[in-house]
Amino acid sequence: MADYNLVVRGGTVVTASDAYRADVGIIGERIAAVGENLQGERSVDAGGLLVMPGGVDTHCHIAQLRPEGGTDEESFTTGSAAALLGGTTTAISFSTQFKGQPIRDTLNEYRELARASAIDYSFHQIISDPTDEVLAEIPGLVEAGIRSLKVFLTYDTVHLDDRQYLQVLSVARRTGALVTVHCENYDAIDWRARALLADGRTAPKYHAWSRPEIVEREATYRAIALAELVDQPIQIFHVSSAGVAKEIARAQARGVKVWAETCPQYLTLTAADMDRPGFEGAKYMCSPSPRDVQAQEGLWDTIRRGTIDVVSSDHSGFSYHGDLGKRSNGEDAPFTNIPNGLPGLATRLPLLFSEGVAKGRIDVTDFVRLVASQPARIFGLTRKGRIAPGADADILLWDPTRKVKITNDKLGHAIDHTPYEGMEVTGWAEAVFLRGQLAMQSGKVVAAPGSGKFLARDAYDLIKPTGRLADGFDAAAMAVGPSGKRLV
């Protein structure tokens, strides 16, 4: 008698704490049992494979709206295909507020674009212009399940100053949202970039010179200190080195609720990649800048110590040849006019597994914790990131020994290159199930566009404030907006 619709049989189940031989029984969209000799109407042979939760990528830019109209090159159709080919079943992308615009209309536009997704998804709301009116929109947004806000401390068009950042932290505290932060000092970068340009240093490699580690370290310290002042939990995005992670570890040790993310590019690339001949270096340009080999080893160490909880892709693809891509301002464009960001949805898991697990730097349970369980936990995706009864049956079958040479044609994204072209990795996704349905097998996406679901995130305890305020006065509770008036 079959107890389950589907049984994944004979593989090694890997969770964030254990790896053991077991079958996984699925009823409908959920995991119903993990045990031995389970009987299903259908079964899938996972012998020799790892059975892990589908990857949860909590930092990727898909179909980002452009201020001048239209979207960036990656659509939800191609972005979600890339995710499935790389073993990822859930993504949190971004809804960007443009200055002078309300949030709600833009969010609706993103929700519409995301209907093409073949994986489950949610959004972080970027706040670039925290006026009284915009701040007053946030409680409704959070109530609708957008339980994380994103702020930038750099970039010309979106950076917030300290007062604006405090306003966003305060409204997040009152409404129960997590704040995620891009930490680099805007003024310091601008000051250095202008000096570099004045000196004729315009090539892609000077991107790294404009933003050395100290500008990230300073902004990280400041982001944490202000969050501590408000008593508002935050997550720091794309930590590039151990020096930056140390600021986070010190705060974690004194009980501040701060989580940290890094990305494969900071574990595999260096600033020297931007010094490739001609304009090639632009393919490696992202912010913060990749550092050096020593910084990479330091980052692995902070991953092992648990300072860094999450490895996301920060997928932000710009083609090399296309009109909207890296060369959109010409090959002579100074580094300040080249779009920042790298494609990474499809390569996140292979790179972390190969460089981390296969090379003995981390355990396979750490891998699951970093790419699925912790991202799901930190961002309130309660049914994701676990192989356990009650969880969504998002299951990744992974071959830990398969050696694959990364080439762009395997990755499914809309971008015409990968920074990892030609790199050989050990470990590759063989098949992916999304809520019990086969979504990818042997390098072919079988899920139809639109099979992904929007994930509204409810309130959850992890991101509640600590209740510890410097002097007991809760300034955030006063709800005084930037105009000096009480917010309604």
> Which residues of this chain interact with Zn ion, rule CB under 5 A?
182, 314
Residues in the chain: 488
Cβ proximity to ligand URP: between 55 and 419 the closer is 419
Q: Examine residue 182 and tell whether it contacts ligand URP (CB under 6 A).
A: yes
Rounded Cα gap, residues 173 and 388, in angstroms = 32
Cβ proximity to Zn ion: between 45 and 187 the closer is 187
Q: Examine residue 309 and tell whether it contacts ligand URP (CB under 6 A).
A: no
Least separation in angstroms between residue 286's CB and ligand URP is 4
Q: Which of 76, 161, 154 is nearest to 112 (CA)?
A: 76
Least separation in angstroms between residue 237's CB and ligand URP is 6
CA atoms within a 13 Å half-sphere pointing along the CA-CB vector of 10: 6
Q: Examine residue 328 and tell whether it contacts ligand URP (CB under 6 A).
A: no
SS3 444: strand
The entry of Zn ion, ligand URP, none that residue 347 binds, CB within 5 to 8 Å by partner kind: none
Cβ proximity to ligand URP: between 155 and 460 the closer is 155
Contact status, residue 247 vs residue 220, Cβ threshold 8 Å: yes
Least separation in angstroms between residue 257's CB and ligand URP is 22
Which residue minimizes CB distance to Zn ion? Answer: 182
Question: Exposed, middle or buried by CB within 10 Å (0-12, 13-18, 19+), for 255?
Answer: exposed
The entry of ligand URP, Zn ion, none that residue 340 binds, CB within 5 to 8 Å by partner kind: ligand URP
**The residue type at 439:** A
Cβ proximity to ligand URP: between 114 and 181 the closer is 181
The entry of Zn ion, ligand URP, none that residue 286 binds, CB within 5 to 8 Å by partner kind: ligand URP
Cβ proximity to ligand URP: between 258 and 286 the closer is 286
Rounded Cα gap, residues 83 and 353, in angstroms = 15
Rounded Cα gap, residues 357 and 304, in angstroms = 12
The entry of Zn ion, ligand URP, none that residue 130 binds, CB within 5 to 8 Å by partner kind: none
Paired strand residues for 125 = 95, 149
Least separation in angstroms between residue 371's CB and ligand URP is 18
Least separation in angstroms between residue 140's CB and ligand URP is 26
Cβ proximity to ligand URP: between 231 and 261 the closer is 261
Among positions 171, 244, 286, 463, the unique one binding ligand URP when judged by CB under 6 A: 286
Least separation in angstroms between residue 72's CB and Zn ion is 12
Write each residue from 59 to 78 as x if it is in contact with ligand URP (CB under 6 A), else as -, in one continuous string: --x-----------------
Least separation in angstroms between residue 67's CB and ligand URP is 14
Cβ proximity to ligand URP: between 10 and 322 the closer is 322
Rounded Cα gap, residues 288 and 469, in angstroms = 31
Cβ proximity to ligand URP: between 245 and 269 the closer is 269
Write each residue from 104 to 133 as x if it is in contact with ligand URP (CB under 6 A), else as -, in one continuous string: ------------------------------
Among positions 23, 74, 129, 314, the unique one binding ligand URP when judged by CB under 6 A: 314
Rounded Cα gap, residues 63 and 76, in angstroms = 6
Interface with ligand URP (CB under 6 A), residue total 8
Cβ proximity to Zn ion: between 14 and 282 the closer is 282
Q: Examine residue 341 and tell whether it contacts ligand URP (CB under 6 A).
A: yes
Angle between helices 293-305 and 242-253 (to 10 degrees): 20
Least separation in angstroms between residue 201's CB and ligand URP is 20
SS3 180: strand
Q: How far is CA 301 from the centre of its chain?
A: 20
Q: Examine residue 176 and tell whether it contacts ligand URP (CB under 6 A).
A: no
Q: Examine residue 287 and tell whether it contacts ligand URP (CB under 6 A).
A: yes
Contact status, residue 242 vs residue 301, Cβ threshold 8 Å: yes
The entry of Zn ion, ligand URP, none that residue 244 binds, CB within 5 to 8 Å by partner kind: none
The entry of Zn ion, ligand URP, none that residue 437 binds, CB within 5 to 8 Å by partner kind: none
Task: Please count the other Cβ atoms lying within 10 Å of the Cβ belonging to residue 264.
Answer: 24
Task: Please count the other Cβ atoms lying within 10 Å of the Cβ belonging to residue 294.
Answer: 11
Q: Which of 278, 276, 274, 279 is nearest to 326 (CA)?
A: 279
Q: Which of 226, 229, 408, 384 is nearest to 317 (CA)?
A: 408
Q: What are phi and psi of 429, to 5 degrees?
A: -75, 125
CA dihedral sign of residues 369, 63, 111, 144: positive
Q: Take residue 487 and report the two structure tokens written for it.
A: 């917010």
Q: Examine residue 316 and tell whether it contacts ligand URP (CB under 6 A).
A: yes
Q: Which of 194, 189, 192 is nearest to 219 (CA)?
A: 189
Rounded Cα gap, residues 35 and 387, in angstroms = 11
Contact status, residue 266 vs residue 294, Cβ threshold 8 Å: no
Q: Which of 82, 79, 30 is nearest to 53 (CA)?
A: 30
Cβ proximity to ligand URP: between 182 and 435 the closer is 182
Least separation in angstroms between residue 258's CB and ligand URP is 18
Cβ proximity to Zn ion: between 129 and 314 the closer is 314
Residues that bind ligand URP (CB under 6 A): 61, 182, 286-287, 314, 316, 340-341
